[in-house]
Amino acid sequence: MSSVARVLKRTPVRVAVLLLLGAAIYAGYRAWVLRRVHGFIVALAAVDSERAVVCVRANDDRYENGARAWVGLLDAHGSWAWSQKLDGTPIVGPHDGLLVHDAHVVVRTALPSGVGKTASYSLADGHREWTRDFDTAQSATYVDMVPAGPRVVQGGVDALTAIDAASGTIAWKIPTNAFVSSARVAGPSLLWSEDLNGASASLDGGAKRTITSTGSGMCVVGSELVYMMGDRVEARAVDGNGGQRTVASLALPEGVSRVYASQCGIWKTHPLFMVSFSDGTSAPMKPGLVEIDVASGTQVRFDPIDLHPLLSVVQQSNDAMFPESGSLVGDIARFVPMIDGDSNGFALVVLDVEARKITRKGPVSHARLFTEIVGDHGVFYLQGGGAGDDKELVRFDGATGKITAAVRLPDVESLRPPALAQGRIWVHSSRWTEPLPWAVLDGTTLVPIHSQGMRITPASDEIAKAWLGGP
């Protein structure tokens, strides 16, 4: 008998060898998992120009919903820094259950039992920091998760809940009505819409403050929240201290009534409201723009806009889910792309905010109804249907009113604001292929920085002509 065999016959030695062998196999498996996570992408959030956090679900029909899914940190060249198995699959919602905030990766998942998990992972190395259960019962809320200082606010069946991002402790919980949307942070407060009214609460907690208004359009001007209420524009302190005051009474054209604000942004220091109004007849409501000078308490302009009342339902939904990325929010660009439509179809149009009129209109196409528009500091990215089954991604310059770049991306998923970071755009497909299909694009040229498993075809002139009749 050889000396090696005699050594292996000793039980302690055999155990040690088996343990070492098992450790080696596990290390090899972990290396393989980190190199290639198998399945399909269900959520993506860019961290910066070089990294994105990605949620992947296994493509295996033998497993129930939530049985096998992972979250991991992916770099712009295709390497995984870390990955962790999830309890359940990410919640379908505005952020698809994934938020990167304050060095934490927060993921909301659902299990077949109806139990939900909110868990936090370290952005640096992926170790789990905390987890909490919640009820996954369906609700009409558009609020998935909102970053709010050191906290994360998540929507639920009948409440908004603020969770400390570092520890997972609940900071506060505020009851809400059935339909909640347009949640965002303004100074020391969280703002949101409930049906046709607005609401706010201190980020430090406290009672909900209802803002009776006609629509979801609210602007922050200095330290005040400005909004419409009936035939007036009202204001109240963002921090909720003090009551509301009347800024201006609306000077409506003769016959105009029932004005509802849907968006509000700042145009040359003045709040500018996108509104719908009725002329007192049975005709559908019409869109318009109302500009207010808060300092003097006067209405500067009221301009009907030559648009049909049926705007893109997809865009209205996106604006409710991502209120800070709408077309007429924040500092408004001079030229704003919009989707206008009637029974004949839908078209991309360009609104000249300075002239208050539609200056360009592209060819009519039923595919334009599903166009998504994401605003990013005066630049707009539009994604929608193109020729055949391909989708098309378009860059629109708000300073010039022109399409400056466009590409075709087959079978790409919805474009969401979390996919934009530091001048780059992360795109992905939910198809199950090897390798995972995703790409990083330059935000100015839409040229791929890195592409894996996706076919990206530049076609700026052709797409610009199809969308807008030319660049």
pLDDT tens digits, one per residue of 71-123: 999 999 889 999 999 998 898 888 899 999 999 999 999 888 778 899 999 99
pLDDT tens, residue by residue, 325-368: 988 999 999 999 999 987 788 999 999 999 999 999 999 988 88
Tell whether the model's pLDDT for residue 395 goes beyond 90: yes
- The contacts found for 38-41 with CB under 8 angstroms, 24 or more apart, are 38/434, 39/68, 39/69, 39/70, 39/432, 39/436, 40/429, 40/430, 40/431, 40/432, 40/436, 41/413, 41/428, 41/429, 41/430, 41/436, 41/437, 41/438
Predicted confidence at residue 38, as pLDDT, reads: 64
- Does the structure show a pLDDT above 90 at 211? no
Determine the 3-state secondary structure of 138 from DSSP.
coil
The predicted model gives 135-163 an average pLDDT of: 85
Structure tokens at 159: 């409440």
Percentage of the chain modeled with pLDDT above 70: 87
Q: Over 60: is that where the pLDDT of 234 sits?
A: yes
Distance CA 62, CA 47 (A): 33
Q: Of how many residues is the chain composed?
A: 471
Q: What is the pLDDT of residue 46?
A: 97
Average per-residue pLDDT in the chain? 86
Please, which pLDDT band fits residue 442 given cuts at 50, 70 and 90?
A: very high
pLDDT of residue 16: 60
Question: Do 427 and 439 contact (CB within 8 A), yes or no?
Answer: yes
The pair of structure tokens assigned to 164 is: 């400390």
Q: Would you say residue 33 has pLDDT above 50?
A: no
Distance from C-alpha of 26 to C-alpha of 260, rounded to nearest angstrom: 61
**What pLDDT score was predicted for residue 4?**
47
pLDDT at position 314 over 80: no
**CB contact at 8 A, 76 and 450:** yes
Can you give the pLDDT at residue 63?
47
Distance from first CA to last CA of the chain, Å, rounded?
Answer: 83
Look at residue 36 and tell me whether its pLDDT is greater than 90. no
Q: Is the pTM of this model over 0.75?
A: yes
Dist CA 89 CA 72 (whole Å): 14
How much of the chain, in percent, has pLDDT values that exceed 90? Answer: 53
Higher pLDDT, 438 or 471: 438
Cα torsion angle, 32, 33, 35, 37, sign: positive
Residues 6+ apart with CB under 8 A from 67: 58
* Residue 216 to residue 5: CA distance in whole angstroms: 78
- Rounded distance, CA 413 to CA 425, Å? 13
Number of Cβ atoms within 10 Å of the Cβ of 381: 24
Q: Domain segments of the chain: what residues? A: 1-35
